Structure 1
Amino acid sequence: MKIIADLCIVPMGVGPSVSRYIRDVRDIIEASGLVHVMHANGTNIEGEMAAVTAVVEACCARLTELGVERVFCTLVFSTRTDKPQTMADKLAAIAD
């Protein structure tokens, strides 16, 4: 099933700046080959549900390897069964 997901992943207990951890998360998402767009509070990812959730699992595993003892994630996603839809399609639909 194709999904468009919004992932927010927060390493907890590592101090106020998490950018060094998020760089590793970004690298995993980029290496996945999935279409994605990073934004200020997370990352939009599109692809098959199994592939997207596998990437999220890989990100959490990497943070654990880096010594993060607690990870907070939100994963919100949508699907369309009546037609294929991409993130670009959704943005084009609201463009003036």
Structure 2
Amino acid sequence: MKILAEVCIIPIHGATSLRREIAMAHSILKETGCHVELHSYGTNIEGDFDVIMSAIKTIHQTLHANGTMRLHTSMKISSRIDKEQTLQDKVDAVNAVLKESK
């Protein structure tokens, strides 16, 4: 089943910089072949439900193996069966409404 998801994984270890852990997580997501968009407060992912969930598990295992003692992960998942929809489709739909209101 194809889904659109937003995931935010927060390493908790006392350091103020999280960029190395975020880069590791992003690399794991890219390896899935799913469409991945990094943004300032998380990552959008478009792909197979099981593949994405497996990648989240791999991220947790990898970060823990690299010394991160605790992780907090939040996810939003959108699935639908009435039509195919991409992340870009959702943005385009809102932009169309904004264009109409000018």
Whether the TM-score (by the shorter chain) exceeds 0.5 is yes
Q: Does 1:57 align with 2:57?
A: yes
How far is the alpha carbon of 1:81 from its aligned partner?
1.1
Q: Structure 2: which 5+ residue stretches go unaligned? A: none
1:25 and 1:59 in contact (8 A); partners too? yes
1:14 and 1:68 in contact (8 A); partners too? no
Change (3 A) 1:89 1:74: same
The structure with more radius of gyration: 2
What is aligned with 1:78? 78
Letter in 2 for 1:63: L
Q: Does 1:42 align with 2:42?
A: yes
1:34 and 1:47 in contact (8 A); partners too? yes
What is aligned with 2:17? 17
Q: Structure 1: which 5+ residue stretches go unaligned? A: none
1:51-88 C-alpha deviation (Å, 9 max, x unpaired)? 11011111111101111111100011111111011101
Letter in 1 for 2:16: P
How far is the alpha carbon of 1:14 from its aligned partner?
4.0
1:18-65 C-alpha deviation (Å, 9 max, x unpaired)? 111111111111111100100001000011110110111111111011
Letter in 2 for 1:89: D
- Using structure 1 for the length normalisation, give the TM-score: 0.94
CA RMSD of aligned residues (A): 1.0
2-side partners of 1:71 and 1:14: how far apart?
12
1:8 and 1:41 in contact (8 A); partners too? yes
Secondary structure class of the residue paired with 1:47: strand
